[in-house]
Structure 1
Amino acid sequence: MHFLQLFIFWQNRFQQSVGHAVAWLSLALVLTTAAAVLLRYGVNFSASKLDESLIYMHATLFMLGIAYTYQQNQHVRVDVFYQRCSLRTQTWINLLGAILFVLPVMVFIIWAGLSYVGASWAIQEKSLDASGLPYVYLLKTLILIMPGLVILQTLGLIAQSLLTLLHVEEPA
């Protein structure tokens, strides 16, 4: 098996594993939101930790699910022209878009987020609410993990685009 095909195979498998694992947060988010609403309006009880856990789950779901969504080709795209293009033209659009837009933006997010996340880790940042969750620094770490996953997915997309343009058979 060609090196690029092997990379694409394992990268896709990794993104699918992350995506499927993170998808369970959707269920947890719905159940926790329902519990928070029932507690707040049913028995007049509210807890900062419960409310903040909703924010953590929501952020984790989206930040770790972005690369999987990209891998599944379910990301936002202007399909008015794209859908009418040939496979070769679509492949060129994907390749150039990945190289000219996705990679630079993800590298910028990492560059801009390093000091921000580093400062949060340095002080082991906690919630501003005294009874809130003490793991804000872990939540902020998603700012670096997300572009890392997207870069990995983008490299897989670039490799697949190159193989398609070179007419190499798609990996299993």
Structure 2
Amino acid sequence: MNRLTWLCDGVNRAVASVIRWLALFMVLIQFVIVLGRYVFGVNSIAAQESVLYLHATLFMLGAGYTLLVDKHVRVDVFYSRATDETRRRIDIFGHLFLLLPSMTTLLYWSWPSVRNSWKIFEGSLSVGGIEAVFLLKSLIPAFCVLVILQSLSLLIRLLGQGRAA
């Protein structure tokens, strides 16, 4: 089981090490867009859409890593005051009955849209936009898979803690 958790964690660490650079590229492109528009009077829809694509990629593919390092948003009405054992039980419940089912459902229901988008190589609705909406839609199943992998890894650890206690 340790090997499986190591593998799942490794996938999200590898993805994060690549996509972290997207934040820098996104800022640089946005700077060039603003400079071009307000200083030189030049505008590019494709450049504007590239910021959207980078932003979506950064957040969708970074979600699994965010879960790994425990920096995700947590509604801690009860969690902050709970004992370690209660926190472990809340986390197990959250993974089993909230996170994994919702990711599986999203993966299942988004797949036809992604498949159809790839069939027609769906492009931008805007004239001059990036002709790769099919790639943008592909982030949805990738997001689901990365979060599912990380959730399973964390769930294995949590269940292992229960046996050790």
Q: TM-score range by the shorter chain?
A: over 0.9
1:127 counterpart = 2:124: yes
User: Residue 48 in 1 paired to residue 19 in 2?
Assistant: no
In the TM superposition, structure 1's runs of 4+ consecutive aligned residues that sit over 3 Å from their partners are none
Superposition map of 1:1-172 within 5 A: 4-167=1-164
Structure 1 unmatched ranges of 5 or more: none
- The amino acid of 1:138's aligned partner reads L
Normalised TM-score (structure 2): 0.95
The letter of the residue matching 2:82 is C
Alpha-carbon shift at residue 113 of structure 1 (Å): 0.4
Greater alpha carbon shift after TM alignment, 50-59 vs 125-134:
125-134
TM-score (norm: length of structure 1): 0.92
Q: Where does the alignment leave 5 or more consecutive residues of structure 2 unmatched? A: none
1:85-119: CA deviation from partner (whole Å, max 9, x where unpaired) = 22221111111100000011001111110111111
Q: Hey, what's the Cα distance between the residues in 2 that align with 1:159 and 1:69?
A: 18
Total equivalences in the alignment:
165
% of aligned pairs identical? 36
Give 2:112's aligned amino acid: S
* CA RMSD, Structure 1 to Structure 2 (Å): 1.2
